[in-house]
Every structure is written in structure tokens, then in C-alpha cells.
Amino acid sequence: MTALSAEEFADRRARRQERRQKQRDANAARACKMHQARIAPERSARVSPALDRVAGRIYVGCSGWYYWHWKGQFYPADIPSSQWFSTYQDHFKTVELNAPFYSWPTIGAVKTWLRQADPAFVYTVKVCELITHIKRFEDTETLIEDFGYIADLLGPQMGCFLFQLPPSVHYSAEMLERILSRLDKRHRNVVEFRHKSWWNEEVTDAFKAAGAIFCSCSGPRLPDKLVQTAEDIYVRFHGVDQWYRHDYSDAELRVWVERIKQSEAKTVWAYFNNDREGNATKNAKRLSQLLNEDTRRLPA
């Protein structure tokens, strides 16, 4: 691959920033449309989706599935991108959707998720940055309810909501209370922190009391441990020394298999975010194999 010149790199970066700003500008309007759909009179008697169908299983997948650099690696080079999801679904029965973090999903997009997936397929959805990064949970009660409407649409194919905080958010008792008080307890709520100050007993105890799931991370400069605060455990694999590039060895994966086994968690969620060079798909399949060897519970 030919290296980009400084001018080409700057141009690409500028176009990316412009695209990201357009997404941010559109998020508030999309959230408003979902709010109107959520409070529509014909939805007033809706029933919250049951969580029982996904309980008691192991879900292993990737953080996103639509990556052009997977073509010719995970996806055959000779198939169109319209067939990528069906190919992904041949290997995994869950995915952690990253796109909703950048762009608040439309109702039409959520219905597409339902149409393209087998009934047994389960989606975990990363919550829009409007809530976690822009507003940082300040005055977000209604926004979180509106985003939660996705779970009503997905029904039994809904997994978890993943709330990711930026590294600039350090631990404080005030911020901890703000986050946990905003979460809708109807759903499986996972919170991922990117600063090591959040790995402390006050946070763990508060999460347990709230029934929230603390996201364990394999990532640079983050505590390398499994934290369990609920019957479910949730692990994101980003990489060890570098974000998104690491190729996990069997020895590294077996450490996490043992941690998962020792946790005796009711439900296990594990997603690989090391998408570079297709490592996520390879590592996720291998973790599934190792977990299947070491537990009587079969992966979803």
C-alpha cells in the first residue's frame, strides 16, 4: 500500500472531521424523531421486551461487522458488500454495533437490522455519543429513554446497551451517581470507562447496588482484570499494547477463559474491537472454541 503524502493525509483528515460533524449535527434531529415515535399514542401500551431469552448463554462476536479492510480476509473478495452480514452471521450469533455511537439510528435502520438477521441473532448497541461524550449524562434522562426505544423495536433480539465514556472522564462520586441514576433498569446496561481511576471499590459497590454491568477491558493502560458487578459479565478486547491492532495469542485468550470460568457468570458477553487485519474475527472464533472446551454452556 502506497503511503499517503502529508497533503493527502491532511485532506483525508479534514474530510473525516467534516463527515463526523455532519453526523453530530444530525443526531439531535434523529433523537427527536425517535422521541416522537416512542411517545406516540399507539405505543403508549407497549410491553417491554423480555430479557429471559438471552440469559444463561455465552455470546462472542465483534465490535462492528462492516469493515472494508476485512474484504479478502474475512469476507471473500468476490462477494458484494450486501452479502457481508450474512457471511458474518454464518460465524457469529451476535454483534456489537458501533455505528449507532456515531450516528443515532433511524427507526428504518433498526428495522433493517431485524430483517437481515436470523431470529436467534442478538444485537448489542453502543449508545450514541450525544449522551456519553457530548452531554456526558447531563440532562439525558429523556434521551436515554428515547434511545432505549431501540430495545422495544428489537424485542428478543436485543442484547445490551453499551455506554462508553471518554478517557477524559475521570472518577468522581458525582459523576458515578449521575451515570447510574440515568440508566433505565428495564435494559441490560453496560458502562465502559477508559480511565483507570474507575477501577475502585466505590464504583464496583455502586454498580452492584444499581444492577449495572461494569465493562471489563483488555486495552492499553487499563487494568487487566475481569470485574463482575452483576449476573452478566461483559468484556471488550481492544488490544494489549496498541488499540485495535493486537492479535491475541492462545495464551492470552486462555487467561480470559479462566477468568470467565471462575466468575460463574449467568450470561457472558465478549466482543473483539481489534478490527485491524481481521484479527477480531479470528480471535473471536478462537475464544468461542476455547470457551466451548472449558464449559458445558454452548456459545450462542
pLDDT confidence tier of residue 7, bands split at 50, 70 and 90? confident
Q: Using the CB atoms, write b or e for 222-234: b if 16+ within 10 Å.
A: beeebbbbbebbb
Residues 236-255: tens digit of each pLDDT: 999 998 898 999 999 999 99
Cα separation, 137 vs 163, whole angstroms: 10
Q: Specify the pLDDT at position 300.
A: 42
Return the minimum-mean-pLDDT range out of 67-81, 203-217, 268-282, 285-299.
285-299
Least confident of 24-28, 48-52, 172-176, 270-274: 48-52
Confidence of residue 16 (pLDDT cuts 50, 70, 90): confident
Grid cell in block for residue 86: 450474512
Which ranges of the chain would DSSP assign to H, the alpha helix?
6-38, 84-91, 99-102, 107-116, 129, 141-154, 173-182, 201-210, 250-263, 279-294
Q: What is the pLDDT of residue 85?
A: 98
The yes-or-no verdict on residue 20 having pLDDT over 90 is no
Q: Which CATH architecture has domain 12-40+57-294?
A: Alpha-Beta Barrel (3.20)
Q: Stretch 207-227: mean pLDDT, rounded?
A: 97
Give the pLDDT confidence of 259-269 residue by residue, as tens digits.
999 999 999 99
Q: What pLDDT, on a 0 to 100 scale, did the predictor assign at position 54?
A: 87
| CA dist list (Å): 105 to 99, 110, 146 | 8, 7, 11
From CA 140, how far away is CA 21, in angstroms rounded?
Answer: 20
Query: Average pLDDT over the chain, rounded to whole?
Result: 91
Closest Cα partner for 158 from 117, 130, 101? Answer: 117
Beta bridge partners of 127: none
Indicate the domain borders of the chain: 12-40+57-294
pLDDT digit string, tens, across residues 66-105? 999 999 999 999 999 999 999 999 999 999 999 999 999 9
User: What DSSP string runs through 196-236?
Assistant: GGG-SHHHHHHHHHHTPEEEEEE-TTS--S----SSEEEEE
Mean pLDDT (whole number) for 165-179: 98
The strand pairing partners of 122, in sequence order, are: 94
Distance CA 60, CA 290 (A): 11
pLDDT at 45: 44
User: How confident is the model at residue 107, as a pLDDT?
Assistant: 96
DSSP assignment of 50-89, as one string? PSGGGTT-EEEEEE-S--GGGBTTTB-TTS-GGGHHHHHH
